[in-house]
Amino acid sequence: MHRYFVLNKPYGYVSQFSDEAKHPGLQRLIKLPKDVYPVGRLDSDSEGLLILSNDNYLKHHLLTPQFKHKRTYAVQVDGTATQVHINLLKQGVQISVEGKVYKTLPPHEARLLHDINFWARNPPVRFRKSIPTSWIEMTFIEGKNRQLRKMTAAVGIPTLRLIRSAIEEIKVDEFREGELREIEKEEIYKLLKIKNNNVFS
């Protein structure tokens, strides 16, 4: 039987059930059937939406770049983000991927974010009186390792906090920090804009 769960992953946890080095695994936060695993990942220093399932068709769809599913991130950056920064990000920037120069695809969307209503992070991001922080939002259909952090650093506004705020139509503002919900197949397929198919059942 296929099961579908959505987790708002807190800061500091790795996207696997076992611990890794100094970072706790998800087994310290949630209990799930043994055959249910995270689909994709969020780094330990990133927060937000994580899908967990034992549905191979859903996993194939979300992890295969050709399907171009949209993932949206809210990013708190060091300094005052401006429309100039957004325009640079929209053009795509050069970052290093596995030691090679890579030009990112333009994000699907990028904008300044002013209405902030996220939970307080524990521990909080560092605060410096002389340097303000600000927020931007970007939506991607590609995802290289730590791509967004590298992109904001490349345009001069390093990332302080990263929250995956949405995956297609599933939104983080509907979840508490650390909250896990089970979703029915029909609903999650609709929210993720996946055509129902039993090829990988």
- Is 43 considered catalytic here? yes
Residue 5 neighbours by CB distance under 10 Å: 20
Rounded Cα–Cα distance for residues 186 and 201 (Å): 15
30, two tokens:
């949630």
What one-letter code names the amino acid at 36?
A: V
DSSP 17-39: SS-BTTBPPGGGT----TT-EEE
Mapped onto helix, strand or coil, the DSSP state of residue 120 is coil
What is the b/e burial string over 36-51, where b = at least 16 CB atoms within 10 angstroms of the residue's CB? bebbbebbbebbbbbb
From the candidates 43, 78, 115, 173, which is the catalytic residue? 43
170, two tokens:
């599933």
Distances (CA, A) of 172 to 7, 95, 98: 9, 28, 30
Active-site positions read 43
